[in-house]
Amino acid sequence: VGGQVSLRCSFASAVPVSESLTVDWSYRPLGGGPMETIFHYQSVAYPTTVGKFKDRISWIGNVAQGDASIAIHSLVMSDNGTFICSVKNPPDV
């Protein structure tokens, strides 16, 4: 609580990383409920501008090295849940 956590996500692609590559991070609360997108990356980082993670997510990845990681700051107990990283590098998905 109050600290920071790094959520690691690594990927490999059969094709070279391009500007079409996208990274999406989704979150579902521990108690259930709908998934929500909390972070998007395509050439630049687009942290969420609404919801509980607003202004608390930083991009720490490097897609050229197969890293799509993020950091979440100022943690609270209710942040507990399932985080899913999805990377697409067309035509490789």
| CA dist 60 → 15, 18, 84 (Å) | 22, 18, 16
- Our CA angle for 13, 61, 48, nearest 5°, is 110
Which residues are paired to 58 by β-bridges? 71
Residue ranges in the chain whose pLDDT is less than 50 = none
The pLDDT, as a whole number, for residue 90 is 94
The pLDDT, as a whole number, for residue 92 is 87
- Going along the chain from its start, the domains and CATH numbers come out as 5-88 (2.60.40.10)
pLDDT tens digits for range 69-80: 999 999 999 999
The pLDDT, as a whole number, for residue 93 is 72
Tokens coding 22:
């996208």
The pLDDT, as a whole number, for residue 18 is 92
Is the CB of residue 10 less than 8 Å from the CB of residue 68? Answer: yes
Tokens coding 64:
């050229």
Torsion of the alpha carbons at 5, 63, 83 and 54, rounded to the nearest 10: 70
pTM metric for this prediction: 0.93
The pLDDT, as a whole number, for residue 65 is 96
